[in-house]
A = this chain, B = another copy of it.
Amino acid sequence: MASDSGITPRETDYSQWYLDIIREAYLADYSPVKGCMVLRPDGFAIWDAIKTDLDRRFKETGHVNAYFPLFIPQSFLSREAQHVEGFAKECAVITHHRLRAVTRDGRTEVEPDPAAKLEEPLIVRPTSETIIWHMYARWIDSWRDLPILINQWANVVRWEMKTRPFLRTAEFLWQEGHTAHATRAEAEEEARRMLGVYADFARETLAIPVVPGVKTANERFAGAEDTYTIEAMMQNGWALQAGTSHFLGQNFARAFDVTFQNEAGERELVWATSWGVSTRMVGAVIMTHSDDDGLVVPPKVAPLQVVIVPIWRKEKERALVCDFAERCRAVLAGAGLRVHVDDRDKLKPGAKYYEWERRGACLRLEVGPRDVANGSAFAKKRTGGDKFGVALEGMAERVQEVLDEIQAELLARAVAHREANTHRVDDYAAFKAALTDQGGWYLVPWADDGANEDAIKAETKATIRCYPLDAQDEAQGRTCFYSGRPATHMAIFARAY
């Protein structure tokens, strides 16, 4: 049941809370096409900020952008054996290239034109390995052509039956890096490097302390030899896979016959990686930081960093406070901050405060006649705490400091939450009891075994999120919490989106 704000408290119904936030903060809306959402301007702005920051990191690590076709010939999907299993199932299939108008009962309607059936159906890309490796076969001939370090920002479609805004939709926006290398070592290094880029980005920009790790064979990408992941903990203790990086070995090179002449003059198959993050990250941001009052987003990706609310009672005060508010806005905008003056008529300041809290403005500046006289505004952080004055003189620097504080606070909270909800258990009975009782993540010694993984999933709905990279030393000499065999890894088990 929603409160007055229209937002269901997290305690009452976490899933509904998430949907309420998205609606009340105008982040996304449902479209008339099943499973496809509309990214409204504020929701898109978060993605745009993510994109700008990641794009810079990709370029700093030597990558360039390109663009490959939306459509993939149906036959391409059957080239890589595992890939067809993983991706050929639920996808959008194009069979005709024309509609025709037909008149029925005096109404004109349209329908696929039977005369315009495609010889070979096309599918809308669920991911682009196949078409990209088809092109790489044309571009790669010698070791001099390697490495190829290409990234693509694109939309992809996977026909999902059960959707949730941002987290799982039929169409979504993402980036997909596809690299080609002369050696295994170089490709493996690339896959790990991009995992590191993602992990740093999530922590520094999104204030999400993700855990980087390796997926088990069960959870691997279709066609990969190794799948690396960053896993984020949501406020309900569930895990969310926020990005993946794959070492693809020579599987796609073999399927698309991509070889190169090495320096010794011999032909070899090319080594590959791919890596991607999507608009799912926007869902991770919302779920990690927001509260029962509405959206909370880290300043680095917030649609609005500062909202200025001028306050007047008498008409003659209005020009005074609005003028001062505009001067504040100009100073902050000039420093590159995202700032807005809410000077709407006939809406009380309290109603404005309330609205901007719901919509996640990071910092509110109130400007009344007395503030103008003092040459300052009265500030309130979205993350709480007492109000404080900020002088117009030096305002840009001071506000940037406060935004940095907010960014750091959000990260500290998320780290504390993750630590408080990550548990270490040694035996399966204790794990089951704790999972039911308190949820969260479980770091356990584990003997790698797909069948056991399936059995635990069937019984508890928990899956192995990853083998965290920085915890593997701990497995030595320990016993698997489930099978009792010698542990091969430390694994994180959790419920996941």
Binding site for B on A (CB under 8 A): 29, 31-33, 36-41, 44-45, 47-48, 64-78, 81, 84, 88-99, 101, 108-112, 121-124, 131, 134-135, 138-139, 150, 154-155, 157, 159, 171, 173
Total copies of the chain: 2
**What's the Cα separation between A192 and B150 when bound, in Å?**
38
B65–A45 CB distance below 8 A: yes
A98 touches B94 (CB 8 A): no
Q: Specify which chain B residues have a CB less than 8 angstroms from the CB of A78 in the assembled complex.
A: 101, 108-110
Which residue of B65, B76, B94 contacts A93 across the interface (Cβ within 8 Å)?
B94
- In angstroms, Cα B11 to Cα A8, docked, is 70
**With A44-B65, A78-B109 given, can you name 20 additional A-B contacts, CB distance below 8 Å?**
A32-B73, A33-B72, A38-B67, A39-B68, A40-B66, A41-B64, A44-B66, A45-B65, A48-B65, A69-B171, A70-B171, A74-B111, A81-B108, A88-B101, A93-B95, A93-B98, A94-B95, A95-B112, A96-B121, A111-B121
The answer to whether A110 touches B98, judged by C-beta atoms less than 8 angstroms apart, is: no
| Chain B: minimal CB distance from A405 (Å) | 27
B108 touches A98 (CB 8 A): no
Closest chain B CB from A338 CB (angstroms): 10
Q: Which 6 A-B pairs have the closest CB atoms?
A: A36-B69, A39-B67, A93-B96, A41-B64, A97-B159, A88-B99
Residues in chain B near residue A88, CB distance under 8 A? 99, 101, 110
**B-side contacts of A98, CB under 8 Å:** 89-91, 93, 159
Complex Cα–Cα for A135 and B26 (A): 13
Chain B residues lying within 8 Å of A44, measured Cβ to Cβ, are: 64-67
A110 touches B77 (CB 8 A): yes
Contact present for B74 and A99 (CB under 8 Å): yes
Q: Which residues of B contact A122 (CB under 8 A)?
A: 33, 92
A98 vs B87: C-alpha distance in the bound complex, in angstroms?
10
